[in-house]
């Protein structure tokens, strides 16, 4: 923890330099309120960030992060100088993909060295990451490998709604095949354990059905009766407060209103449509199962508006704030 005011040090990777990551990071950290709850440290390219700040009209003083006491009224940067040329805004390339991967790797190194307490990540491009030589479908899997984590899950925190995903970036056809009793049982047990630790109370879990109206007693499919109900029953025998399956068109709103601590979603868009409809711009991606706290924005690189100075930094602010809050909660 930071020596000054005992604030958690949150390392913020600036993401793909051709996207909106650097812009939203700087905009978020121009808000002095974040400095009251954490010591932010950007992990990225100092010269690129200086140019970006100038173009955005942000009057920020930058200092290189060297550990020790924080620099008063300065934005601290762990400088990797990984961009030999300025990338073209909105253009996916191996250069920015490789750089974004280096920021992530360095963030984990700094955490292992106890120089930062948590990580908040700006968006990366999966294609650029691949062009840069890294074969991962996203942050979640990359961070799992860097930390030697075998069991992990993507989740979203949106006010009182928390959603945990049974599958992530796969086709819908593949996602449906992944809905089986063994995987669902394992995820319910895992999510209950992780969320109970994070929230400091016995987490209440709801499970969304796969089919419309959770199949309405078998009228629209058999997965609820054959897979989901048996998994829930088995977990309840273990003492887990879990219920369902509930109709997917209402359960997320019920979670948002605080009826449950989390909802298990059967596939990616079942979760993200609900989250982004209810809390776009303020929801946060949280990787469960990692030995470190990691949060991220609820959106992508937005190449179509990169370099225009119009990106909304709300989700980045929320991600940094939540990283600090979860760190404080974990250490309390």
Q: Which residues of 93-102 are buried (b: 16+ CB within 10 A; e: fewer)?
A: bebbbbbbbb
Q: What is the pLDDT of residue 67?
A: 75
Query: Which position has the token pair 């990551």?
Result: 21
Per residue in 294-314, pLDDT tens? 999 989 999 999 999 999 999
- How far out from the chain centre does Cα 331 lie? 20
What CA–CA distance (Å, rounded) separates 181 from 185?
A: 6
For 47-86, what is each residue's pLDDT tens digit? 999 999 999 999 999 999 987 777 667 899 999 987 878 8
Q: What is the helix (H) or strand (E) element at residue 130, kind and residue range?
A: helix 126-131
Q: Are 289 and 194 in contact (CB under 8 A)?
A: yes
Q: How far apart are CA 293 and CA 278, in angstroms?
A: 24
Residue 3 has pLDDT above 70, yes or no: no
Q: What is the pLDDT of residues 90-132, one digit of tens each?
A: 999 999 999 999 999 999 999 999 999 999 999 999 999 999 9
What is the average pLDDT across 269-298? Answer: 92
What is the reported pLDDT for 2? 42
- Band (289; pLDDT cuts 50, 70, 90): very high
Summarize pLDDT for 169-215 with one digit per residue, the tens: 889 999 999 999 999 999 999 999 999 999 889 999 999 999 999 88
DSSP secondary structure letters along 195-257: HHHHHTS---EEEE-SSGGGGGTTTS-SHIIIIIHHHHHHHHHTT--EEEEE-TTTHHHHHHT
Give mean pLDDT, residues 22-38.
94
pTM score: 0.89
What is the pLDDT at residue 217? 83
Domains of the chain, each with CATH number or no CATH: 1-149+290-332 (3.40.718.10), 151-288 (3.40.718.10)
């Amino acid at each position: 923890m930071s020596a000054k005011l005992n604030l958690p040090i949150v390392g913020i990777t600036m993401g793909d330099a051709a996207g909106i990551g650097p812009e939203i990071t700087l905009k978020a950290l121009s808000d002095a309120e974040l400095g009251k709850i954490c010591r932010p440290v950007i992990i990225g390219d100092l010269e690129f960030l200086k140019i970006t700040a100038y173009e955005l009209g942000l009057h920020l003083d930058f200092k290189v992060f060297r550990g020790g006491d924080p620099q008063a009224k300065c934005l601290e940067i762990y400088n990797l100088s990984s961009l030999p040329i300025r990338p073209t805004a909105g253009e996916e390339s191996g250069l920015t993909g490789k750089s974004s991967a280096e920021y992530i790797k360095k963030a984990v190194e700094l955490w292992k060295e106890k120089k930062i307490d948590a990580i908040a990540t700006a968006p990366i491009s999966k294609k650029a990451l691949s062009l840069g030589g890294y074969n991962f479908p996203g942050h979640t899997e990359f961070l799992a490998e860097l930390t030697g984590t075998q069991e992990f899950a993507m989740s979203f925190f949106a006010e009182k709604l928390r959603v945990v995903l049974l599958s992530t970036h796969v086709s819908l056809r593949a996602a449906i095949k992944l809905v089986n009793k063994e995987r669902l049982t394992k995820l319910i047990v895992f999510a209950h354990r992780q969320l109970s630790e994070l929230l400091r109370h016995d987490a209440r879990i709801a499970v969304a059905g796969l089919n419309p109206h959770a199949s309405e007693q078998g009228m629209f499919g058999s997965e609820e009766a054959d897979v989901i109900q048996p998994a829930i029953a088995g977990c309840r025998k273990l003492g887990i407060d879990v219920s369902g399956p509930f109709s997917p068109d209402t359960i997320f709103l019920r979670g948002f209103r605080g009826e449950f601590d989390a909802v298990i979603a059967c596939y990616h868009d079942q979760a993200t449509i609900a989250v982004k409809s209810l809390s776009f711009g303020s929801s946060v991606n949280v990787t469960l199962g990692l030995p470190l706290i990691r949060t991220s924005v609820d959106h992508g690189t937005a190449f179509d508006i990169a370099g225009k100075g119009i990106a909304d930094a709300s989700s980045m602010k929320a991600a940094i704030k939540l990283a600090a809050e979860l760190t404080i909660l974990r250490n309390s």
